A = this chain, B = another copy of it.
């Protein structure tokens, strides 16, 4: 068994079932090992950002670590932005990055670069492996690191000769560090905060999975607190039968307004609410200066355990939680606007869908319109690095066969990683991509006034304009083997949505806004 085979065998033994790949010469032995060692599905992507974004969503939806196979420094860098999102999603992802053979390093061949420096910024665990004998054990440690807490990014940099040399040893799984239990004094503090009044439970990450969020909502109902989430969760179970919660708006102004009366904020699996960007003459925190903030459960803590303990202390049970009814919006009429398209999505969302959301500005109406839709999962852009949507939809579809994946996609960010549509066609993944075609970086237009630039000049406005030439998304999709349609009325959108949800396999709708 060579090193490459020992690594693949170890990953499979440790529960890694899927590898999203963009291999190059330095990874060919790893690719060949996939044929020799059974148990790993390999999904080819045409750009590394597609591979890492898919791995992120796969890991979010299955809870299992996904592997990514990347080609040297440039391959890792191409995948970095979506690894940043995966890091913010606390998704268990294992990067396997090929490196030159050890003895080739000194010659500084053209593709040589400092891979560690690129890996460090996005990985909780980085290991460089120079011999076949160490590769299996390094793989097991990487899986353990990836599965620790809620999840992390682990990167294994594999010298090519470590992969191709005999002497590989399959390693047994290494136990990850589970989410940490929450100490009793924090439960005490949470009880006190709830009793003090003007309280909000802000839940995120592990605390927004269905069971946990229902408990949090029950605690809130029982104590008169508010319960909210922020729109940057890795996976939020929503729709009929899930906990009714507030959504804190993403923009700092409205978020600050929503939080202004809160004096006791209890964070469960969530971090301090702060502005996405600092703005001139505005505080970074969106909470009131008088608001006390209690971190009940940190990201990698056992949020569900903490909520169970807290529920016990305040006498709440799941039955106390207000749940969303099944009450989707009526099909709208009129013009295509963010509100009417949101109503169409809410009305027609298939049961058990996975929504991969990179709507950016257009999506602001979307959350309210789908809250009482059929039950579904919502996976957000977690780290703000755009180009996540199409890859996430791809990974979610690999993770969840039998479920329809709906990708709500802004046009500007969609262009970052459109290559993932090809993988959807190749794997016949059941994804409906809906592109909001406003032909502008609208969020930047909205931000101009926020950063003190109310009167931008023509160059600045030109930098935000995607309309010249207009992007033609059905053509782009067709170029990658995906059928698409452009719609410019509500009726046509409804028809296209119904037609494309009906069939299995990738489809695309461009909605002219």
Contacts and interface: CB of A to CB of B under 8 A. Distances in A.
A462 B471 CA distance: 31
A238 interface: no
A294 interface: no
A32 B466 CA distance: 18
A318 interface: no
Most buried by B among A81, A457, A465, A479: A479
A361 interface: no
Contact of A444 (B23, B74, B415): B23
A110 B88 contact: yes
A12 interface: no
B471 A276 contact: no
A383 B49 contact: no
A478 interface: yes
Contact of A74 (B80, B470, B477): B80
A460 interface: yes
Contacts of A107: 272, 274-275, 284-285
A26 to B, nearest CB: 6
A29 B451 contact: yes
A425 interface: yes
Interface in A103-153: 103-104, 107-111, 113-115, 117-118, 120-122
Contacts of A275: 104, 107, 109
B444 A284 contact: no
A47 interface: yes
Interface string A49-87: 100000000000000000000000111011011001000
Contacts of A49: 78
Interface in A265-324: 271-272, 274-280, 284-285
Contacts of A279: 101
A81 B78 contact: yes
Nearest to A163: B451
Contact of A78 (B78, B278, B465): B78
A318 to B, nearest CB: 31
Given A25-B447, A77-B77, A277-B109, A471 B480 contact: yes
Nearest to A85: B74
Interface string A438-468: 0000011001100111001111101101101
B481 A479 contact: no
Given A74-B385, A476-B476, A479-B473, A23 B108 contact: no
A370 to B, nearest CB: 22
A462 B43 CA distance: 9
A426 interface: yes
A451 B117 contact: no
A36 interface: yes
A238 to B, nearest CB: 20
A46 B121 contact: no
B280 A161 contact: yes
27 contacts: A25-B447, A28-B460, A29-B453, A34-B457, A46-B412, A46-B416, A47-B387, A74-B80, A74-B385, A77-B80, A78-B78, A78-B80, A80-B80, A80-B118, A101-B279, A103-B278, A103-B284, A104-B278, A104-B284, A108-B271, A114-B120, A117-B120, A161-B280, A472-B479, A472-B480, A477-B479, A479-B479
Closest A-B pairs by Cβ, 5 of them: A469-B481, A35-B457, A104-B278, A101-B278, A77-B80
